[in-house]
Amino acid sequence: MRIGELARHTGVSERSLRYYETQGLLAADRTPGGHRDYPEAAVDRVIRIQELYAAGLHSEKIRQLLPCMRDQDGGPSTVATPRLVADLTAERDRIDRMIADLVRSRDTLDEVIQAAEAG
Amino acid sequence: MRIGELARHTGVSERSLRYYETQGLLAADRTPGGHRDYPEAAVDRVIRIQELYAAGLHSEKIRQLLPCMRDQDGGPSTVATPRLVADLTAERDRIDRMIADLVRSRDTLDEVIQAAEAG
DNA sequence: GTAGAACTTGACACTGATGTCAGATTCAAG
DNA sequence: CTTGAATCTGACATCAGTGTCAAGTTCTAC
């Protein structure tokens, strides 16, 4: 799969896909001419990466995390080191707080929206 | 209440509190010498503002939204215009998607953490 | 082989809330 | 008063992913 197709399938820009590669998050084979050639599994991986970015993780953490994730191919996965587990636990808690904040904001918006629709 | 105390009570930096003022989000009385003097209700308001920023709303949207929120004092609140309601509904849906993404990321982290603790 | 679409690398810009620093002023307590 | 803590304004930096443009190369279909 070429980069344009992958971009279309994931909704992630080509620019970002190339950036992910420089960050060591997404490998690609190359055609003889140098064009990137992605496997099918790249679609799921890119979506995961995008989600983790949205969750506020930085490239480095994602890079450490990815090999520990259960692969869609069912391939072998590395086990996280204690240090990484500690980091990820902190991230997990941060995400929990973020979710709680978002729910409160959503409730705030709902309240205003409903007040307007009722008025 | 002075800015330092407000910062301590809300966990938001003085820098940010001054910035909120420039954005029209947070008004303050002034002492004769020019120091800001906040009412008690500012604490709740700042926390709300912070949550809305965290939810990805920009200053302008928050500025439009704030007068429509039910005030902690139970004071009168403006009703959102149809245009604003449309905007807020879009934001609400975006936040919903964001929450769903975060939950997926949290699950991903949990999976890796649990795999490490089991291993 | 040729035209046009797709891809390559590299560089620069931007966003927008927040950190930080400097120099001046005000406040509060002794 | 005086002194030190707190606050003021203004300016500049930062972060990190992403947008965008340029000039050149490769791919694909006719």
* Same domain, yes or no: A63 and A91: no
- Which amino acid is residue A58, in one-letter code? H
Q: Does residue A39 share a domain with residue A4?
A: yes
Q: Which residue's CA is nearest to the C1' of nucleotide D17?
A: A16
Same domain, A84 and A69: no
Q: Mean pLDDT across the stretch B63-82?
A: 84
Same domain (yes/no): B54, B91:
no
Domain count within chain B: 2
Using a CB–CB cutoff of 8 Å, tell me whether B86 touches chain A: no
Q: How far apart are CA B16 and CA B35, in angstroms?
A: 16
**Does residue A73 share a domain with residue A85?**
no
For B61, the domain range is 1-79
A75 and A89, same domain (yes or no): no
| Å between A34 CA and nearest CA of chain B | 33
* Residues B74, B84 within the same domain: no
pLDDT at A15 over 90: yes
**In terms of domains, do A9 and A67 share one?**
yes
pLDDT of B54 > 80? The answer is yes
Looking up residue A18, the CATH number of its domain turns out to be: 1.10.1660.10
pLDDT band at B75, cuts 50/70/90? low
Question: DSSP labels for B30-76?
Answer: E-TTS-EE--TTHHHHHHHHHHHHHTT--HHHHHHHGGGSPPTT---
pLDDT in tens, B76-114: 678 999 999 999 999 999 999 999 999 999 999 999 999
Q: Is B35 near strand C, with its CB below 7 A from some atom of it?
A: yes
Q: Tell me the whole-structure pTM to 2 decimals.
A: 0.89
Which uninterrupted H or E stretch holds A36?
strand A36-37
> B71 or A84: whose pLDDT is higher?
A84
Degrees (nearest 5) of the Cα angle B74, A111, A51? Answer: 130
pLDDT digits (tens, 9 = 90+) for B16-25: 999 999 999 9
Specify whether A40 is located in the same domain as A2. Answer: yes
